[in-house]
């Protein structure tokens, strides 16, 4: 049973570096979501794709953040010029219906 | 922006006890989800409720959606250590289909 896969699981980088995360959703799921979660908080919505179209972006998604889903399958989330405040767990979810059904186990980003 | 308040924030109980956690908002939700999350893992969807007054049961877990679709509760009967985790509610409203999450209730069940 292949669920949502995220890579890498952990990323440690210095402030100012660029990082890219990958999410492989469940194959037949056309909807893909990115969330960010910090300690003691629930997941915060970042962006949403239906197939390859990015339909919604949160105000949290500053111009240093970009997400793509070029063929409507896997997705990447890139953060440029990372800052201390970007340290968080980045979660990807996919679904067929209108709510995120299946989450990956996330990429934990630590900024030194 | 809708805000989901979850209470209590923390709950520590003994195995066999019953508990209820709450999710409240001033917004009307088109649907509301409950998830459970364990440390280092992503949330796992437990249930979706869509109709005001709806009650759904999942083994020892009972989920209720308020009549006005602004609040929900999760009741666990005879809690077990395996129920330990962060219980998150999430709801979409105002024409958006993107759910907003609450901060969660962190539950610890001691053997």
What's the whole-number average pLDDT of chain B? 94
Cβ contact A99–B104 (<8 Å): no
Cβ contact B42–A45 (<8 Å): no
Q: In this model, does residue B1 exceed pLDDT 70?
A: no
Confidence of residue B98 (pLDDT cuts 50, 70, 90): confident
Cβ contact A42–B48 (<8 Å): no
Q: Which residues contact A1 (CB under 8 A, 6 or more apart)?
A: none
Give the total residue count for chain B: 111
Question: Tokens 């922006």 map to which residue?
Answer: B1
Reading chain A (112 residues) residue by residue, the pLDDT tens digits are 579 999 999 999 999 999 999 999 999 899 999 999 999 899 999 999 999 999 988 887 889 999 999 988 999 999 999 999 999 999 999 999 888 889 999 999 999 9
Q: What is the structure's pLDDT at B57?
A: 97
Q: What is the structure's pLDDT at A26?
A: 95
Q: What is the structure's pLDDT at B8?
A: 97
Q: What is the structure's pLDDT at A1?
A: 55
Nearest Cβ partner of B88 from A40, A42, A98?
Answer: A42
* Comparison of pLDDT for B33 and B92, the residue scoring more: B33
The three-state (H, E, C) secondary structure of chain A, written as one string: CCCCEEECCEEEECCCCCEEEEEECCCCCCEEEEEEECCCCCCEEEEEEECCEEEEECCCCCCCEEEECCCCCCEEEEECCCCHHHCEEEEEEEECCCCCCEECCCEEEEEC
Confidence of residue B2 (pLDDT cuts 50, 70, 90): low
CA distance, residue A89 to nearest chain B CA (Å): 9
A–B CB contacts, 8 A cutoff, strictly below: 53
From chain A residues 28-67, the ones with a CB under 8 A of any chain B CB are 33, 35, 40-45, 48, 56
Distances (CA, A) of B94 to B2, B4, B29, B51, B99: 9, 14, 8, 16, 11
CA distance, residue B27 to nearest chain A CA (Å): 17
Compute the distance between CA of residue A59 and CA of residue A63 in angstroms, rounded to an integer: 10
Q: What angle do CA A57, A29, A43 make, to 5 degrees?
A: 45
Cβ contact A56–B48 (<8 Å): no
Confidence of residue B95 (pLDDT cuts 50, 70, 90): confident
Compute the distance between CA of residue B59 and CA of residue B76 in angstroms, rounded to an integer: 9
């Amino acid at each position: 049973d292949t669920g949502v896969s995220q890579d890498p699981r952990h990323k440690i980088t210095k402030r100012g570096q660029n990082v890219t995360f990958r999410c492989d959703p469940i194959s037949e799921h056309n909807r893909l979501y990115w969330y960010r979660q910090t300690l003691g908080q629930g997941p915060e919505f970042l962006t949403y794709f239906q197939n390859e179209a990015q339909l919604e972006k949160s105000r949290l998604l500053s111009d240093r953040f970009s997400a793509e889903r070029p063929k409507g399958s896997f997705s990447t989330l890139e953060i440029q010029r990372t800052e201390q405040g970007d340290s968080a767990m980045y979660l990807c979810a996919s679904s067929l219906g209108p709510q995120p059904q299946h989450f990956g186990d996330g990429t934990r980003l630590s900024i030194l | 922006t809708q805000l989901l308040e979850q209470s209590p924030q923390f709950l520590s109980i003994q195995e066999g006890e019953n508990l209820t956690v709450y999710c409240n908002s001033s917004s009307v939700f088109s649907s509301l989800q409950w998830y459970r999350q364990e440390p280092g893992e992503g949330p796992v969807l437990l249930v979706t409720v869509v109709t005001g007054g709806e009650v759904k049961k999942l083994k020892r877990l009972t989920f209720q959606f308020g009549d006005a679709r602004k609040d929900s509760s999760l009741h666990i009967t005879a809690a077990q250590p395996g129920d330990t985790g962060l219980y998150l509610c999430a709801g979409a409203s105002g024409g958006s289909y993107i759910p907003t999450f609450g901060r969660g209730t962190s539950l610890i069940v001691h053997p």
